A and B are shown apart, each in its own frame.
Chain A
Amino acid sequence: AQSVTQLDSHVSVSEGTPVLLRCNYSSSYSPSLFWYVQHPNKGLQLLLKYTSAATLVKGINGFEAEFKKSETSFHLTKPSAHMSDAAEYFCVVSDRQAGTALIFGKGTTLSVSS
């Protein structure tokens, strides 16, 4: 069965410093991988997706993620954090077995201090 493990429940950074949110996945098939962001009282927003094209994926707001099959990882990075990046981030997997369902990790809370 598919699964996602987000290795940190909470990450704190200072504004202007790099962000790294870690994600490992499990899938028996060629997976599609996503990162979603959830701001308070707002819907989930897609940051970026990997669907078997380039392994380095660029998303919105300066975020990017690299698919590493050998490590079964899909870590999210951003060179310089902004206060507005503070939110909950979810790593998500889907594959042929999951069908149309998205399998979410438990989330990582990103805090950004000035």
Chain B
Amino acid sequence: DAGVTQSPTHLIKTRGQQVTLRCSPKSGHDTVSWYQQALGQGPQFIFQYYEEEERQRGNFPDRFSGHQFPNYSSELNVNALLLGDSALYLCASSPDRGRRNEKLFFGSGTQLSVL
């Protein structure tokens, strides 16, 4: 079992650009959540996708958007990048429509640097 896989592992962008991060959930998982982890901070919840729809959203601006595909994989898109968007972006997947937090599995993340 490959677990949760994220790509790319590292990414460098400049201010104002757009970026797309990708996530493949653990086999058997149907729900994907995204978190942002700034340097020296704990992860912050961005949003969660189930059945190809955004089910819950944290306190992030509309520049952050996502998508879930029929095979349960997901993308995180960030538009008009700011320096403050530099962070480790973590994807987490869970089974059972995401109802049980203890079943959450995290990927290793994508490190985004905005210059």
Interface set of A (CB-CB < 8 Å, partner B): 4, 32, 34, 41-46, 49, 51, 90, 92, 94, 99-107
Contact = CB atoms under 8 A, between A and B. Distances in A.
A106 B45 CA distance: 13
B27 to A, nearest CB: 16
Given A43-B90, A106-B41, A106-B42, A100 B101 contact: yes
B70 interface: no
18 contacts: A32-B102, A34-B102, A43-B107, A44-B43, A45-B106, A90-B42, A92-B42, A100-B55, A100-B98, A100-B101, A101-B45, A101-B48, A101-B58, A102-B35, A102-B43, A102-B104, A104-B43, A107-B41
B108 interface: yes
Most central of A51, A99, A106, A107 by chain B CB within 10 Å: A99
B56 A43 contact: no
A4 B3 CA distance: 28
